[in-house]
Structure 1
Amino acid sequence: MTTTVPTLRDTIAKDLRTQITTGHLKPGTRLPSEPKLAAHYKVSTPTIRQALALLQAEGLIEKTHGKGNFVRPTLRRITYTSGARIPFTPDLQTTIRTATLRARGHIRTLLKVPPNTPLTEFHCTTYEGETPRSVARIYVPRDLAPAAHLGSCTWPGGRNADWVKAQETVTARLPTPEEATTLRISPTRTVLTITSVAINSTGRVIEAVLLALPSDAADAVFTTHPTPKEREMDR
C-alpha cells in the first residue's frame, strides 16, 4: 500500500484552513504578508503562494489586489430552482443592465435564429449585501423584448410570456475571466453554470439564459413531474 506524504504546500494550507474553520482567524481578517508567512513556516514565498492558492480555490480566502489576502465571510448556500432565471430570495438584490446586439455563435445556436438577428441582452448580478452571488446573461429576440417583464430577471420570458418549458444544462467548470471579476472569486474556484432555453407553445425559443454561481455556496433543485402515461404505468 502506497502512502502519500503531504507536501509543504498541503501542510501549510491545512494549518491555515484549521485556523479559519475553528474561528482562530475570523472572517475579514487580513493574513500576514507572503514574506512573513514564508518566514513563519520556514519555506519559500512560491510555496506560500501555492498554499494560499489552494485556500482561494476552496473559497476560504480572497486576494484583494494591492491589499493582501483576507479570510472570506461565511456565505449561506443559495438555491437555484429549475425554471428560474436567477436564484431568488428576499435577501438577494439584483442589478440589471441592458444592451442591444446581434445573434452570433453560441447564442445564435441556443436561440435557433438566423445570423445577426437583433437581440436584447439583460446582464443580471445578484448580491447578498455587497457580495456578488450570481451573474446571468439573458438573451431575448428583439421582437419579443417589449413583451418581456424588463424589471425582473426572475421569470423566464417575462412574467406573462407564453413559455411552456425550459431546457436546462448544468455544468461545473472554472470561471471565465469576466465571471471571476464580477463574482470576485479566484480564477481557480469552480462555478456552477446553468444554460437554460425557454420554449413557447409553438416550439419557438423565446430566450436563452447563461447563469454562473460559485459552486461551493450554491445548490440547484430540479423537480420532475411524471406524464399521465408514466403515472398510468406506475399503477
Structure 2
Amino acid sequence: MTHAVPSLRHAIADDLRTQIATGHLKAGERLPSEPQLAAQYKVSTATLRLALALLQAEGLIEKVHGKGNFVRPPLRRITYAGCGRTPFDPALQVNIRATNLRARGHLRALLRVPSNSPLTEFLCVTHEGKSPHSLARIYVPRDLAPAVQLGLPPRLPGVEAISTKFRETVTARLPTPEEATTLRISSTLAVLLITSVAADATGRVLQAAILVLPGDRADAVFTTHPMTEERESEG
C-alpha cells in the first residue's frame, strides 16, 4: 500500500503550523525572513512563499509590507446579525473617514438616485490591536448626511424604525486587491460580502452599507420571525 508524500510546501506549512500550535512561535512574533526560512528548509524562495501562503489563507500568519511575516493572534469572531447592523465590536478600534462623492455606476443603482447625485461615503475600518479586522463602506444621500449619527456605526436617526425596510444580499467571493491590502489578508482567502440597503416606507433609500468580512473570522446569523395574522371572530 502506497502513501501520498506531502509536497514540500505542505510539509513546511505543517511544520510551521505545529510550531504555532505548540507555542514555539508565539502570537505577534516575527518569523525569520523568507530567504532565511528557505535556507532552513533547503527549498527555493518561491516554494517557501507557497507554504506561507497556505498559512496566510488559514489566518495563522499575516504579511506586513516592508516588515515581514508575523504570527497572528487568535482572531476575534465577527457575527453579523442582519438588518443593517454593522458588526463593530466595542472592544475594537474603529477608524471612520467621510468623503463626498457623486453617484455613478453601481452606487446610482444601489441608492436609486439620479446619476451624479451627491453622496457621502463613510469608510469604516476596525482594528484589533494593530491588525485590520473588517471594513464597511456606508453611503448616504448628501441631504441626509448632516443628520447621520457618527456613532459605531454611522446611522441615520429612525433607520431602525418599524417602517424601515432592509434588503440584504450575501455573497462569498475573493477580495479585491484593495480589500486584501486594507485587511492584510491573502488574496486567496474568501470574504463575506454583505450589501444592505435601508429604505423608508415611500421606498426612498436612506443608506446603503457594503460590508467586507474576512471568511476566516465571520459568521452571518439571520433570525426569521414567522408572520402571524390575527383574525377577529364574528359573533
State the TM-score bracket (shorter-chain normalisation): 0.7 to 0.9
CA 1:29 to 1:158, structure 2 compared with 1: closer, same or farther past 3 Å?
same
Residue-pair matches, total: 229
Measure the CA separation in 1 of the matches of 2:153 and 2:65.
33
Q: Deviations over 1:117-172 (max 9, x none)?
A: 111111111222332221111111122222322x12436x5132355221111122
Match for 1:154: what amino acid? P
- CA distance 1:160–1:72, shift in 2 (3 Å): same
Matched, 1:116 2:88: no
- Residue identity (%): 67
Runs of 4+ in 1 over 3 A off after TM superposition: 1-5
CA contact (8 A) 1:148 1:160 kept: no
The aligned runs of 1:90-101 (5 Å cut-off) are 90-101=90-101
Partner in structure 1 of residue 157 of structure 2 = 159
2:63 corresponds to which residue? 63
In the alignment, structure 2 segments of 5+ residues that lack a partner are: none
CA distance in 2, matches of 1:197, 1:3: 52
Specify whether residues 132 and 4 from structure 1 end up closer, same or farther in structure 2 by C-alpha distance, changes over 3 A only.
same
Matched with 1:202 is 202
CA distance in 1, matches of 2:34, 2:177: 24
**CA offsets 1:41-61 (integer angstroms, 9 cap, x no match):** 222221111101111111111
Alpha-carbon deviation of 1:85? 4.1
Residue 10 of structure 2 aligns to a residue whose secondary structure is: helix
Residue 48 (str. 1) matches residue 52 (str. 2)? no
Separation (CA, whole Å) in 1 of partners of 2:67 and 2:96: 29
Code of the aligned partner of 1:116: N
Indicate if the aligned counterparts of 1:13 and 1:54 stay in contact, CA closer than 8 A: yes
TM-score, normalised via structure 2 length: 0.88
Structure 1 residues 65 and 132: alpha-carbon distance in aligned structure 2, compared to 1, 3 A threshold: closer
Residue 37 (str. 1) matches residue 24 (str. 2)? no
**What is the identity, as a one-letter code, of the residue corresponding to 1:201?**
A
Whether contact under 8 Å (2:88, 2:152) holds in the other structure is no
Paired AA for residue 131 in structure 2: T
Gaps spanning 5+ residues in structure 1: where? none
Tell me the SS of whatever aligns to 1:203. Answer: coil
Higher helix share: 1
Asked if structure 2 preserves the Cα contact closer than 8 Å seen for 1:125 and 1:132, the reply is yes
Q: In 2, Cα distance between the equivalents of 1:131 and 1:154?
A: 19
